[in-house]
Structure 1
């Protein structure tokens, strides 16, 4: 018995010794602080080592324990931030929401901010001019217009001639309809793709030579709707899925150039036209006037109207504190080693855990409880039910 356990003790002891030396090194360089979370992680490592010692071959156990130790070190160490001085960043979609808040935060930190807005005279644009420093430049840009993107590219070159462009924050986004995929107009699908995918891709490609030169950053605000099939968000979710995929491709391809690419996945926040009831009423009227009559009869106007009302009710629970998203954007721009993905929002981890790891029977019911709360069935289904 002693012969069989002795090699195991020495093997795991060597892992613990190396881990202890790394912890001591980080403490001595003020790169780590003792927190309750660190103590909890240490206790979990002890339990994991006990499991490996009892049930796994020595070599496999050493590899897994070493990996767990390095993971704990990575998540408990404060992230090293780069200096702000001389750095310029372009942010799209700064009329309101995340873009406006990010422009204000980065301006306060000392960045040279180039903020794009759809309307120079929008309340958000006026507020940025009033409250930010003279380092901030506001540009009118519509991502669906190549001439606007080209003009923004030229202005950015001029404004960053001295130190170059450090970061691009792709924030601008568009959601035109909340409803069944079959009822969503093709113009809605194309509209979401034009802004969220093609427009964002075009501005990224336009600024990439500058970002490659500075070995800078690309930070893109995507959406969990691009990773999970949320009911009623087919057009928006599809465009965000395409956006996340192309950004991940850029991440791989730009590694040799020193450009780091991150994607922000926010939770539910009140942004953009979320509270603009007149905007959604116009979209609703446009939908009803363009639906084929047969389809309108199958679903019924009362069902379509209830779906829109559910969207407003769901929006009332959305968060108004943008700080988790803005903190993530800031970290992605300044961290020496930014994360590939940032999940910004309360309980967002639960959504991903249920959507990815649990059986579809459970995850489907979970998403149904979030979105499919309507009491009115489509008209054709009601008729079928009544005849049964």
Structure 2
């Protein structure tokens, strides 16, 4: 009897997954009247998605932080795409963007999609290297900004039973050492996406997350990362500097130089996932983008926690364990 129930469960699950896969291939028609707002369009995923949607006839509101990014995007898109400036950490800026979108939407219509893409990573270093201001800025842009933008545009999304898309990261799968504020912001983003999935179920607004692996965008610049790390090291207490030391600092800087070699230059796996989340008849709850994210980080994350702690541990400073042990003995 037990074997029969297990077999029945497996068959039902397989049939459902096949149905889900086939339905996922079916895309919504008439996308030329479904307006989409994308944040963080100055460069990277947001910029690429704005161009992709514009080419496919989707009316886009492309939110850029800087005038330079907005001007550059206008050069490569049609007059159908509307560019606006938006600082996701500024309530006045968010309010102005809502009014801008309302003015340019057809009368009595709403917003079909909101892609919360704006994000940054200020510093890759142990937590004690991060200033309070740096931590706050990272969380404000990546997490709180997305929450505030989403709250402000929800009335327009409810009108269309539209789609919410949150650009997360492989940092929501692996709690990388030296990226604590960034990890916190992305794990929080996944959480808010799931909360909204449940809160908005009754009105038909769906929520989806995108988890890119190692893709080449301006958020990760090895040279900038090295200089930022050096400034952070110079500003911490002397005790912290002595604990880590110059040798450890140089080794971490060298590791940044290896990043371009593992990054995907083709951003289409991410933008295609975003497009699917916006316009598939049966979009996925979560999209893992990149071979590393799908077939390496995620499977490893399912292994026992003690293994993950050991496997992803930070390289310790030279003789740090011995020095700490000696200090403990001395204090006692």
Could you state the TM-score of these two structures normalised by the residue count of structure 2? Answer: 0.90
Aligned to 1:316, what secondary structure does the other structure show? helix
1:204 aligns with 2:150: yes
Q: Which residue matches 2:10?
A: 64
TM-score of the pair, normalised by structure 1: 0.77
1:220 maps to 166
Instruction: Give distance in 1, aligned partners of 2:166 and 2:233.
Output: 33
1:320-339, aligned counterparts within 5 Å? 320-339=265-284
Match of 1:113 in 2: 60
Report the counterpart of residue 18 of structure 1 in structure 2.
none
- Structure 2 gaps, min length 5: 328-332
Larger Cα-atom Rg: 1
Q: Please state whether the residue corresponding to 2:258 is helix, strand or coil.
A: helix
User: What's the secondary structure of 1:220's corresponding residue?
Assistant: strand
Q: Do the aligned partners of residues 121 and 297 (structure 1) sit closer, same or farther apart at CA in structure 2, a change above 3 Å counting?
A: same
Determine the structure 2 residue equivalent to 1:249.
Answer: 195
- Aligned-residue Cα RMSD (Å) equals 2.4
Q: Does 1:87 align with 2:34?
A: yes
Indicate the SS of the match to 1:264. strand
The equivalent of 2:330 in structure 1 is none
Alignment CA distance shift 1:285-1:145 (3 Å): farther
Say if 2:258 is the partner of 1:313.
Answer: yes
Higher relative contact order (Cα pairs below 8 Å, separated by 6+ residues): 2
Structure 1 CA distance for aligned equivalents of residues 273 and 308 of structure 2: 27
Distance in 1 of aligned mates of 2:96 and 2:326: 60
Q: Which runs of 5 or more structure 1 residues have no equivalent in the other structure? A: 1-54
CA distance in structure 2 between the partners assigned to 1:316 and 1:96 by the alignment: 20
1:345 paired to 2:286:
no
**CA distance 1:56–1:156, change in 2 (3 Å):** same
Match of 2:235 among 290, 302, 308: 290
Deviation at residue 367 of structure 1 after TM alignment: 2.8
CA distance in 1, matches of 2:153, 2:231: 36
Following the alignment from structure 1 to structure 2, what is the Cα–Cα distance between the partners of residues 281 and 362? 29
**Corresponding residue pairs, total:** 325
Q: In structure 2, what is the Cα distance between the partners aligned to 1:250 and 1:78? A: 21
Q: Is 2:101 the counterpart of 1:161?
A: no
